[in-house]
Structure 1
Amino acid sequence: MTTRLAYGASVAAMAAALGAAWPALAQTGTQVEEIIVTAQRVEENLQDAPVAVTAFSAAALARSNVETLDDIAIRTPGFSMGKVDPIQQNFAIRGIGSAQGISQNAGGDPSVVLFVDGIYAGRGGAPDLDALDLERVEVLRGPQGTLFGKNTIGGLVQFVTRKPDDEPALRIQGQLGNYDRRAFNIRGNLPISETLAVAGGASIKKRDGYEFNETTGNRVNNEDLRTAHAALRFRPTDALDVVLAFDVTDQDQKGNPRDNICPTSFNNGVHCVGVNPDPRITNAYTDGVMRRLLKTYRAEVNWKTPVGTLTSITGLRDVKLNYVTPFFANPVNPPTQIESTETGYEKNQQFSQEVRLAFDLMDARLRGQVGAYFLTEDINRTAWLLQQFPAPAQTGLATYPQAVDSKSTALFGQLSYDILPSLTATVGARMTWEEKEGHFIGRKISGPGRPPPLGAEDYDVTADESWKAFTPRFALDWKPTDDILLYASAARGFKSGGFQGTAGTAASQSTPYDPEFAWSYEAGAKTQWLDNRLRLNLAMFRTDYKDLQVSQLVPLCCVVVGNAATAKIEGAELEFVARPFDGFQIDGSYAWLNAKFESFATGATANYSGNRLPRSPEDKINIGVQYETELAGGWGVLARVDYSNQSKMYFEASNIPQQKQEGYINWDGRIAVSSPDDRWEVAVWGKNLSDELVATYVTYFGLFRQTLVPYQPPRTYGVTLTWRM
C-alpha cells in the first residue's frame, strides 16, 4: 500500500474510533440516516440485508453533487469505471468487468449490469441521472446470479426511482459552471385523486468541450443532453398498485479524439512528433460524433394476495447509437500522418418480463420468493473502419454489419428460514437458458488494404449457440443483537458466451467464446453503535473464476475476446458513517483488492499468469466530511468535502506500463445555503479540484509505439440554484 493510502486508511480508522468514543449527546441530528434497499428484491433496511451493497439516498446524492455514474463509482468500494467515450462505458466491480470493446460488439454482454426499477439495461449505456427522479442508487458487489441472474457475475448497479405519491411537489433547478456549463431541470408530483397520481420532469444540459482540436479549431468532448421522464401510479385498492413510467435520453454532441503519446506509458511518456504536448489538445482530422437516443417504457404491478405479493415487471428499451471516433489520427515516429476512424450505428430493441411471488409462512419464520424471467434482444449494428496509412497496401475502408437475436429464460427462487429467532439460513437457485443467433459480415469497400486485418478475405457467416447455467446461493446470518448482523454466503455467477465484434476471419467470427462462471465466498458484518450514531460494515471475500472473458488487441487486426483460464480474487471492504455531534458527519470506505490471473497463457510467448486483472486497483479509499448548521434568522448552511485515493491499475491483461493508470487523488466540494422555509437553495461546488489527469481508456499500438488516451473531466466548478414548492 502506498504511503498516502496508508495515511488515508489511518484517518478512516481514527474517524471511526472517534465516533465510537464520543460522549453521549442528545439524539437530535445525531442519527445515521436509515436507508431502505431492495438488494434481495424485497424492501429491507440496509443493515438487515446480508449482502455487500452500497446505497446512496436521494439526499446523499444531492449533498455530494452526484450527477453521473462516474461520481458513484469513485465513492463506492471495489467499483471502477472506464469509458471508450461518454456513451460506451465499461464497469468493473471487484476486478470483474466487461472485456474491453464489448460495448462495440453486438454478440457480447457486460459483466456488471445496470438495472432501472428492476429492468435489465444491457446495451446503450445508462440513462442520464436527470432522466430519472431517483429515490436511491444501490451498488451490489459480487455475483448476483440467483435473484437478478442475467450477466451479473461481477455485480450490478440498481437505479430505484421515486414513485408518484399523494404529496404535491415541484422542484426547479438551474446551474452555471465553467466550460460554459448551462443546465436546467424541473420535476414535479401531482395527486389527481385518492387513487391516481402522476409525476414527471425534464432537463437540458449543455457544456463546451473539455478538449480542443487544433486541426478543426473546435472544442470536442462537449455535452448536449436532453432528458425527460413521466410516471403514472394507480392504486384502486389497498391490494393493487400499478406504476407506468417512461424516460428518454437524447444526446447529440461532438466526439472525443484521443491524446497521442509515444513511446512509453501515458503517465510518463512524451507526445509524438508534431503533436501538441498539452493532453487536452488533440490533432484529429475530424471532431467525431456521439449521438444517442434511449427510450425506456416500464410497467410494475404489485398485487397483495392471500399467499403473498405478486409482482410483475415489464420493460421495453429502444436504443439508437451513432458515433464517429477518430481513434488514431496523429503523426507517427518517424513523423508520417496516419488516420484510423471507426464509424458505427446500432439499433437495439429489448423486451423483458419478470413475474415473482414474495411470501412468508409460519408466522414469517419462513420467507421467500419464486419467479420466472424472460428477455429478448434484437441488435443490429454496423461498423465502418477507415484506415489511411502512407503505405497503399495498408490503406482501405471495410464494413462489419452484425445482426444478433438473443434470448434468455430463467426460473428462480430463494427461501430463508429462521432456525432460531436470531439465526437464519437462506438457500436460493436460478436455472438460466440462453441462446444467440447472429448474421455477421466483413467486407472490404475500397483500397488495397483492409482494416482489419491486412490482407483478409471477405466473409458472410451465420452462427448460433446456446448455453445453460445453474447458479445457486447459500447463506447463513446471525443477529446476536438488534445492532449487529453477521453473515456468510457462497454464490455462483454466470455470464453468457458470445461472438466477436470485428473479427479478422470467417472462422473467428463464427466461433463463439465460452461463458464464464464464478464461485464467490463472502463473510461480513453490519453493525451500529452508540444509538445508531456510528455505523461500521465489513465484507471479506474470495472469488474463483473459470473461463474469464478477456479482450486482447491483435496488432494490425482487431480486438479479440477469448477465455482466460482461471482467476482468483481476494479482498476486503470497510464502510463507515459516524455522526459524533449534531450536524457533523464523517463517512467513507476502504477497499483492498487482490485480483490476479491464476492461469492465462495467450500463446507460445505470452503468459499473463500472475498478472492483475484489468481495472482492479489494489487500494481505494473514500472519505467524506460534512457539517450542517443553522444561522441567525433560520438560514441553513451545509458544507461537504469528498476525498478519494486510488492506487494504480491496468487497462489490459498484459500489465505493460503503456496500459497503466498511476494512482491518483480526487477532491470534490460543495457549500449550500438554504432559506428559512427550505424553498430556496444556492450551492457552490467543484469537482476534481486538484485537476488530476486520469485516463478512462487506454489503447496501445505497439507496432507504432503509440498510446491513445481519452481522459476524465478536468477541474470543474459552478453554482446551482434550486427552488422547491
Structure 2
Amino acid sequence: MNKADILGRIAIGAMVTALGQPAWAQDTSTRTTNEIQDIIVTARRTEESLQTTPIAVTALNSEALTTAKVENVVDLQATAPGLVIGRGSAGGDGIVFVAIRGQGNLQPILANDPAVATYVDGIYIPRPSTGMTDIQDIQRLEVLRGPQGTLFGRNTTGGAINIITNDPTDELSGKFKVEYGNYNNLGVQASFNIPLAEGLAMRVSGAINERDGYGNNPNTDRDFADNSSKFLRGKIKYEGNGWDLTLTGDWNRQSNHGQQIALWAFNPAIVPAAFQPGLTAGLLSKDHWWENTATGTATNAGISALPADVQALYGVQPFNKLEVYGFSGTLNVELGGLNLKSITGYRHSMNYGLSDTDGTAVPLLGTYAGSGSYYISQELQISGDITDSLNFIAGAYGGKESGYEFSRSQIFGGLIRDSNADVTNKTLGLFAQAYYELTSNLRAVGGFRYTWDTRDSVLHNAQVLGLPYNVAVAGTPTGINCTVTPTVPVTATTCNQDQNAKFSYPSWNFGVDWQASDHLFLYAATRGAAKAGGWNLRAGGLPAFAPEKVKDVEAGLKVDLFDRRVRFNTAVFHTWKSDNQAIVNSFVQGIGVTQYIQNNGKVRLWGIEGELTAVPWEGMTVTANGSLQDGKYVKGTFSEIQVVAGSGCTNSAGVTNGCVVDLSGLPLLQLPKKQLNISATQKIPVGSATLAVTGAYAYVGAQHFDAVKAADQASAATKAAYATENALGRVPGYGIFNGRVALQLDDSNIEIAAYGRNIFDKKYLLRRFPDLYRTLGIAAAYVGQPATYGVEATFKF
C-alpha cells in the first residue's frame, strides 16, 4: 500500500468516525480547556471559522507563531503542508522563492510576478525581496493553498500568505521582549497600545536585532550571513458610528556581509588553469561547512579610464542591503444592509548587494545586483446580503508599480558588464463572488474576475559598465557597447530598447460545501487563475512571455473528533497548468547561451495534504502536517534548441545546427514529493507558573532547482556533463529538530524561555546552482543555518 492510499484511508476513517460522533453542545461555557478552540480566518475576505472555510488554509495565531519562533516568511516552511521556501540568489540575500503545491517562481525579476502572493493587512506585496522582512506583532497568519484568482488583489496560481497585524484597541497594554543567543544574537522587541480618545487608539511596535555571521572567511577573518535589522510599525484606528478607519505605516531595514554560499565543484575544462588552485582551496567540505573564502569583485588594470563611481565597484567584498516601507489606509462603512471597504496602499522596496557566486578568492563571478520599486494600489469592496440565503462580495482592484532592476557582473576578473531596465507594471481587475445556501447545511459559491495587465520596460544593457554606449566594443551583437536592439538611435548616454505588452484573462471559482454534522465539514471546488505575463530583462530581443494559466479541482474535509480533542483537516487536489512560464537555458541568435523565461509546456500536479491537532491528555498539544505530491510535464509540450556542431539539425527558428530537444521528461522544480512537520508541547503547572516544553521536527523531501537534458545528437562527453549537472541541480531532502522551553509566570505576565534551532547541527543545503558545462564551469551551494540557541524574556502589561 502506498502512502497516498494510507492517507486516503485515514481521511475516510476520520469521516466515518465523525459521522458517528454525537453533536457537541454549542454553549462555549461548557467547554473544557482540553478542547481545541475555534480559529477565525479571513481567507475569503470575510471573517469565518477555519473549520467551515471551504479551502485549504493553515492558520497560526500569535501563540503558535511564538512557539514555532516564526520571525520571517522563511520560518513558515515548517508550519504548513505543501509550502516550501527557498533561498539563495545572485539578486540579493533578501529574495525568497516561495512555492505552494509546486507553483513557484525561481526568477522573480521586476517584470515577472510571484506565484504565491503575500498580503499584509490586505495590501499586496509585489516584490519577493520583502520576503525576509520581519514578522512582528502579528494577530494571525494564514497560508492559503491553491489558486487565488477571484478575491485577492492579484491573481496567483500557487496560493497566498495572508498576514494580519494587531489592530489598536481601547485598552492600554504593552509588550517588551529581549533575546540573547549564540553568534552574539541580541534582539529587542516592543509594542504599545495606547487609547487616545473615545473610539480612537494607536499601536506602535518595533524591533532591533544584531547578530554575528553564521559563516566565517578564514582568509580574511570576515563574518558573513550575519544580520543587522531594524523594524517599526505604527497603526492608528478610529471607530465611529457605522464606520471605522485604520491608518498604518511600517519600515524595515536589513543588512549583512554576504550570503552563506560556497563552492561545491568546478570543471577544469572550462575554468582557466590560473584559477584552479584557488577554487580547490575554497571547495566546501563537511569539516568547514559554514566557511567560504569569498572576496567579491577583483580589481582590473583596465578600469583607469572608467568613471570614479564605476571604479569603486571593483574590489568590493560581498554585502547585502534591504529597505522596505509602506503606508496604507483601510476604511469600512456600513451602508444600510451593505458594507463598503476601501483599501489604499503604497509600498516601496529597495534591495541591492554584491554576491560572490563562486564563494572563493578567485574572481570567477561577482555580481552586483538589485532593484527598487514603488507600488500604489487601490481596492474597493462592497458586500452584503441580498436575501436570507444569498450574500455576495464584489469590487475592483487597481495597481501601478514603477521601478528599476540591474545586474552588473564580473566574469573571470574582466570588466563589469551591465544589464539594467526601467519597468512599469499596471493591473486592473473587476471581481464578484456570491454564496447561496441551498439548504441549512449545504452552500454553493461562484466567483469570477477579469484582469487587465500592462507590462512596459526599457532595457539599457552595456558590455562594459562605464563606457559610452556608442563606442566600439569587440564581440557584441551590435559591435558597440550598447548590447540591446535599440528603439531610438544610440548615443553616448542613450541605449534604449522599449518593450510593451498587454494581457487580459479571466479567473473563476465554483464550489459546494456541506456541514454534514456539527463536527464534520466537507467541500469540493474548482478554480482557475493566472500569473501575469512579462518580459525577460537581461536577454533583450526575446518576445514577452504570456500569462501562465492554472485550473484545479480540490476536495477536502475538516473534522473535530472525541469532544474536540482531535482535529483533522485534509485536502486532495489535481492541477492543470498551461502556458507554463519555464526557465530554459538555450541559445538565442545574436546573444548566445543565456537563461530566460518562456511559455513552454503543459504541467499536471496532484497531491494530498493533511493537518492534525490533538490534545491527548491535560496540557499536551500535538500538531502535525504533511503532504504527498507529484507532477510532470505533458509529453511533447516542453522543448528547447541546443546548438550541436556538425549535427545538421534543422528547426523552425532558423538556428544553424540547432537541435530541438524534448524536455517534457524533466522533473518539476521546487516540488518535494514528501513533506512532514510535527510538533508537541507539554504544559506543566509549577506552583503559580506554567512550564511549556516544545519539540518540533521538520522534514522536506528532495527538490530540483535545475534540470537539463542533452540533445540526442550531442557527444557522450556532453551527455555526461548534463547528467552531472542534473545530479547537482537536485538538493537532497533534510530534516531538522527545534525545541523551546518556556516558563510562564501567571501572576506577573512574565515569560522566560530558552530555544534551540537545528539542535543537532544538521548540515544541509538550501539550493545548488550548477553551471559546470555552460559558461562558468562551477557549481555553487547555498548552505543552511547551523545550530542556534538562546534565551528570551517577555514582559506584558
Whether these two folds match at TM > 0.5 is yes
Mapping 1:499-518, distance limit 5 Å: 499-503=535-539, 506-508=540-542, 511-518=543-550
The aligned counterpart of 2:98 is: 91
- Counterparts in 2 of 1:362 and 1:204: CA distance versus 1, 3 Å: same
Amino acid at match of 2:265: C
The counterpart of 2:457, out of the listed 428, 432, 438, is: 438
The counterpart of 2:240, out of the listed 217, 227, 236, is: 236
Mapping 1:172-183, distance limit 5 Å: 172-183=176-187
Q: For 1:396, what is the secondary structure of its paired residue?
A: coil
Please say if 1:54 is aligned against 2:84: no
Mapping 1:167-566, distance limit 5 Å: 167-237=171-241, 239-256=242-259, 258-262=261-265, 272-276=279-283, 277=285, 278-286=288-296, 287-328=317-358, 330=360, 337-363=362-388, 365-389=389-413, 395-445=414-464, 458-459=483-484, 460-503=496-539, 506-508=540-542, 511-553=543-585, 557-566=593-602
The aligned counterpart of 2:749 is: 679
Mapping 1:117-156, distance limit 5 Å: 117-123=121-127, 125-126=129-130, 130=134, 132-148=136-152, 150-156=154-160
| Cα distance, 1:216 vs structure 2 | 3.1
Q: Is the Cα contact below 8 Å between 2:586 and 2:640 reproduced in 1?
A: no
| 1-structure distance, mates of 2:250, 2:111 | 26
| 2-structure distance, mates of 1:548, 1:347 | 27
The counterpart of 1:635, out of the listed 674, 689, 693, is: 689
Superimposed CA distance per residue, residues 467-510 of structure 1 (whole angstroms, 9 cap, x where no aligned partner): 0011111101111112111111110011111111311xx422xx
| 1-structure distance, mates of 2:152, 2:614 | 32
| 1-structure distance, mates of 2:98, 2:328 | 24
| 1-structure distance, mates of 2:788, 2:531 | 38
| 2-structure distance, mates of 1:619, 1:234 | 47
Mapping 1:29-44, distance limit 5 Å: 29-44=33-48
Structure 2 gap ranges (5+): 25-29, 268-276, 297-316, 468-472, 485-495, 642-658, 709-724
- Bigger proportion of residues as strand: 1
Superimposed CA distance per residue, residues 179-232 of structure 1 (whole angstroms, 9 cap, x where no aligned partner): 110100011111112210000011101111111123432011110000001000
- Counterparts in 2 of 1:706 and 1:444: CA distance versus 1, 3 Å: closer
Please say if 1:724 is aligned against 2:796: yes
Bigger mean CA offset, 128-137 vs 204-213: 128-137
The aligned counterpart of 1:581 is: 617
Q: Is the Cα contact below 8 Å between 2:96 and 2:131 reproduced in 1?
A: no
- Larger Rg computed on CA atoms: 2
| 2-structure distance, mates of 1:553, 1:187 | 48
| 1-structure distance, mates of 2:21, 2:346 | 51
| 1-structure distance, mates of 2:78, 2:510 | 30
| Cα distance, 1:712 vs structure 2 | 2.2
Q: CA RMSD in A?
A: 3.0
Q: Is the Cα contact below 8 Å between 1:414 and 1:427 reproduced in 2?
A: yes
Please say if 1:71 is aligned against 2:109: no
| Cα distance, 1:293 vs structure 2 | 1.2
The aligned counterpart of 1:714 is: 786
Q: For 1:273, what is the secondary structure of its paired residue?
A: helix
Superimposed CA distance per residue, residues 642-686 of structure 1 (whole angstroms, 9 cap, x where no aligned partner): 112222111124381111111111111100001131511111001
Amino acid at match of 1:356: Q
The counterpart of 1:624, out of the listed 668, 679, 684, is: 679
- Counterparts in 2 of 1:582 and 1:721: CA distance versus 1, 3 Å: same
| Cα distance, 1:59 vs structure 2 | 1.1
Q: Is the Cα contact below 8 Å between 1:518 and 1:544 reproduced in 2?
A: yes
| Cα distance, 1:16 vs structure 2 | 8.8
| 2-structure distance, mates of 1:86, 1:132 | 20
Amino acid at match of 1:436: R
| 1-structure distance, mates of 2:113, 2:461 | 21
| 1-structure distance, mates of 2:462, 2:510 | 50
| Cα distance, 1:580 vs structure 2 | 2.0
| Cα distance, 1:601 vs structure 2 | 1.7
Amino acid at match of 1:285: T
Please say if 1:162 is aligned against 2:192: no
| 2-structure distance, mates of 1:456, 1:608 | 35
| 2-structure distance, mates of 1:544, 1:356 | 30
| Cα distance, 1:129 vs structure 2 | 6.3
Q: Is the Cα contact below 8 Å between 1:215 and 1:283 reproduced in 2?
A: yes
| 1-structure distance, mates of 2:261, 2:352 | 18
| Cα distance, 1:416 vs structure 2 | 0.7
| 2-structure distance, mates of 1:659, 1:586 | 35
The counterpart of 2:701, out of the listed 647, 651, 658, is: 647
Specify which structure has the bigger relative contact order, considering alpha-carbon pairs within 8 angstroms and separated by 6 or more residues: 1
| 2-structure distance, mates of 1:342, 1:195 | 52
- Counterparts in 2 of 1:282 and 1:127: CA distance versus 1, 3 Å: closer
Amino acid at match of 1:397: I
TM-score relative to the length of structure 2: 0.82
- Counterparts in 2 of 1:530 and 1:697: CA distance versus 1, 3 Å: same
Superimposed CA distance per residue, residues 397-431 of structure 1 (whole angstroms, 9 cap, x where no aligned partner): 21122111110001000001111111111110000
Q: Is the Cα contact below 8 Å between 1:261 and 1:707 reproduced in 2?
A: yes
The aligned counterpart of 1:334 is: none
| Cα distance, 1:559 vs structure 2 | 2.7
| Cα distance, 1:124 vs structure 2 | 5.3
Q: For 1:144, what is the secondary structure of its paired residue?
A: coil
The aligned counterpart of 1:101 is: 107
- Counterparts in 2 of 1:131 and 1:666: CA distance versus 1, 3 Å: closer
TM-score relative to the length of structure 1: 0.90
Q: For 2:628, what is the secondary structure of its paired residue?
A: strand
Structure 1 gap ranges (5+): 265-269, 332-336, 390-394
| 1-structure distance, mates of 2:628, 2:144 | 17
- Counterparts in 2 of 1:130 and 1:256: CA distance versus 1, 3 Å: closer
Q: Is the Cα contact below 8 Å between 1:124 and 1:294 reproduced in 2?
A: no
Q: Identity across aligned pairs (percent)?
A: 26
Q: Is the Cα contact below 8 Å between 2:71 and 2:135 reproduced in 1?
A: no
Q: Is the Cα contact below 8 Å between 2:379 and 2:395 reproduced in 1?
A: yes
Q: Is the Cα contact below 8 Å between 2:418 and 2:462 reproduced in 1?
A: yes
| 1-structure distance, mates of 2:40, 2:752 | 29
The aligned counterpart of 1:607 is: 662
Q: Is the Cα contact below 8 Å between 2:153 and 2:397 reproduced in 1?
A: no
Amino acid at match of 2:640: T
Q: Is the Cα contact below 8 Å between 1:452 and 1:558 reproduced in 2?
A: no
- Counterparts in 2 of 1:136 and 1:452: CA distance versus 1, 3 Å: farther
| Cα distance, 1:257 vs structure 2 | 5.6
